[in-house]
Amino acid sequence: MIQTVRGVRDIPPEESGRWLFLEACARRVFAQYGYRELRTPIFERVELFSRAVGETSDIVEKEMYVFEDRGGDALCLRPEGTASTVRSFIETSRQRSLPWRVCYMGPMFRYERPQKGRFRQFHQLGCELFGPEGPLADAEMMALVLRLLQEIGIQSAVTLEINSLGCPVCRGPYREKLTAHLESVHDRLCGNCQRRLTRNPLRVLDCKEEDPALLRDMPQMRDHLCAGCEAHFQGLVGHLERLRLPYRINPLMVRGLDYYHRTAFEAVAEGLGSQNAVAAGGRYDGLVAEMGGVATPAVGFAMGMERLLLLMDAQLGAPIRPDLYLVVAGDGPVEAYGLELAETMRSAGLTVEMHLTGGGMKSQMKHAGRSLAPLAVILGQQEAEARTVTLKRMETGEQEGLSAERLIGRVLTLLGRTDASSAE
């Protein structure tokens, strides 16, 4: 028996209703803010990510699914969505005016240790906004994130954390100061951090293995911002206050990806262990130019769908059930009659699950019950000959006989769909 690969799973039909619900909420909220979907390929050139995400990031260093195709090109499965969006923006930027707002949703791939809320194939929803430079755009994006969390009913379980990561003007001097401090506490750092101390010292700040007290005493970016970065951060805070959006400043949040400038934010939840970030984003003003485009400020975020679903009420996005189950208690002509009726009902917009595997009335009614359909339509020899049906309300057990012509109107009435175009 061949099984799924470690860290990867099917989403069974019983669960896909919740995914559809989440995706529909996201599409609705994204559209409210003017975002339209960009669908990028699942695989890209390796160098797209080594340049955009950064050689020293965990993603590029150890998490990517890299392979060579038959033509010898070095490719990989996409580990995140921003790099592809930037590539697409640069490739098409001559034809478009700013701002450019795009959203995406789909699978991402990272070779990580699988655990609750952490998979090797997982799914993200995200938005990217190219053009605006000021904190207004950052605030609007955070409002969008919080609105989506509210729509899916988990806002109260999640906290918005913000920070500023500075810019090329102020990050260099800060980095030196931090490195000097880290060297002074070298022996108390975990092995991982001792190694990244010189290459990527900022990452030490959000290492999950360090002693919190040690981290609290580190020099912080927020105290070393240049005037421009400080004004940007204060502007953002002002907007969040005006909108009464709840937030918390987390000076230790540095984000794992190298491309962030100024604003960084995360939405973190209780109860997911170290997989507590449900959304992460920030400003990446330098990335477009770094990737060969015309310098363009940009801000974006991504959310982990598996983690959102873990927090969502199990009742939301319940399994999809048919409007009615079609019981076919008879042979050839009865089945043919059933098939024809089912198609007529579907043309009228109804969802019909037809019984296709024969068997007695009793066993077919059991299937009808399991389908969770509120109604069953029962066909036998007599009904087929007279072109009538028996309609049963599953909840009460009430049954009524009626002609095939009147069926659709009656079903729509019982389902409470009054705007029936094909009335009785």
Interface positions with ligand ATP (CB under 6 A): 80, 110, 112, 117-119, 122, 124, 256, 275, 277-280, 302-304, 306-307
The length of the chain in residues reads 424
Nearer to ligand ATP, 79 or 286 (CB): 79
The DSSP code for 115 is B
Nearer to ligand ATP, 269 or 326 (CB): 269
Distance of CA 212 to the CA centre of its chain: 30
Among 129, 162, 163, 127, which Cα is nearest to 145's?
Answer: 127
- Give the largest Cα separation in the chain, rounded: 92
In angstroms, the CA 103 to CA 128 distance is: 6
Please report the sign of the dihedral spanned by the C-alpha atoms of residue 192, residue 198, residue 199, residue 203: positive
Nearer to ligand ATP, 158 or 236 (CB): 158
In angstroms, the CA 333 to CA 328 distance is: 10
Q: How far is the CB of 255 from ligand ATP (least distance, A)?
A: 6
Coil, helix or strand at residue 46: helix
Q: How far is the CB of 118 from ligand ATP (least distance, A)?
A: 4
In angstroms, the CA 292 to CA 90 distance is: 8
State the CB neighbour count (10 A cutoff) for residue 40. 16
Nearer to ligand ATP, 121 or 194 (CB): 121
The DSSP code for 203 is G
| Closest CB to ligand ATP: residue number | 304
Nearer to ligand ATP, 207 or 414 (CB): 207
Nearer to ligand ATP, 125 or 350 (CB): 125
Nearer to ligand ATP, 48 or 339 (CB): 48
In angstroms, the CA 76 to CA 60 distance is: 10
In angstroms, the CA 423 to CA 90 distance is: 53
Q: How far is the CB of 134 from ligand ATP (least distance, A)?
A: 23
Nearer to ligand ATP, 303 or 329 (CB): 303
Q: How far is the CB of 276 from ligand ATP (least distance, A)?
A: 7
DSSP run (H or E) holding 377:
strand 375-379
Residue 325 pairs in a beta bridge with 353, 376
Please report the sign of the dihedral spanned by the C-alpha atoms of residue 147, residue 151, residue 154, residue 155: positive
Residues 6+ apart with CB under 8 A from 353: 322, 324, 325, 326, 371, 373
Q: How far is the CB of 319 from ligand ATP (least distance, A)?
A: 23
Q: Where are the beta strands (DSSP E) in 165-227?
A: none
Nearer to ligand ATP, 8 or 98 (CB): 8
